[in-house]
Amino acid sequence: MQLAVAAGAQVIGAARGSRKLELVRELGAKGAVDYSEPDWTEQVRALTGKGPDVVFDGVGGQIGRAALEITGPGGRFSAHGATSGAPTVTEPAGDVTVIGIEQLFDFAATARPRVEQALAEAVAGRLRPVIGQTFPLARAADAHAAIEARAVTGKTLLLT
């Protein structure tokens, strides 16, 4: 999201809960909607006018499907996660280009320049890692439980 904002994109973030929505706004989103609200897709449409041009779906399941259905005409939809426990059903997708997680593995061959760019953006202060919580290694099970419960913001680190 930070790189999209830095590139001039009008970003709308979708998250669940006030803490995560606050982080979305802090990271520069034009708007933030709570996808646990029944009218969240209408809120996104109101903010974008026609639906988003690009969607990055890390949730999957029904939320991912709803995001696919509101993707704007000729848009792109990247299904790269399933934190809901189920992948997004992406067929049929109409005139939306769908990029599935399996296609992302092909990017490994050209990863080095993207990593170098990301590190340069971090050095320039335009990209900052969001570390939401840390756990001692002895509490790794607690860290996993928090992630599975989707009760975390940002990255979760285990410390030795």
Query: What distance in Å separates the CA atoms of residue 22 and residue 13, rounded to the nearest whole number?
Result: 10
pLDDT: which is higher, 36 or 93:
36
Tokens representing residue 3 in the block? 């790189």
- In terms of Cα–Cα distance, which of 82, 81, 54 is closest to 68? 54
User: For 9-71, what is the HEC assignment?
Assistant: CCCEEEECCHHHHHHHHHCCCCEEEECCCCCHHHHHHHHHCCCCCEEEECCCHHHHHHHHHHC
If you count DSSP H runs as helices and E runs as strands, how many of each does the chain have, helices first?
A: 7, 7
Q: Where in the chain is the domain with CATH 3.40.50.720?
A: 2-128
Tell me what percent of the residues of the chain surpass a pLDDT of 90. Answer: 68
Residue type, 147: I
- pLDDT band, very low/low/confident/very high, at 151 (cuts 50, 70, 90): confident
Q: Are 60 and 84 in contact (CB under 8 A)?
A: yes
Residue 126 has a pLDDT of 84
The whole-number average pLDDT for the span 42-49 is: 95
Residue 130 · residue 153 · CB < 8 Å = yes
- Per residue in 73-125, pLDDT (tens digit) is 999 999 988 888 898 998 887 899 998 877 777 777 788 998 999 899 999 98
Among 3.40.50.720, 3.40.50.150, 3.30.30.10, 3.40.50.300, name the CATH number for the domain at 2-128. Answer: 3.40.50.720
Among 14, 53, 54, smallest CA distance to 31 is for 14
As a whole-number percent, the residues of the chain with pLDDT over 70 amount to 99
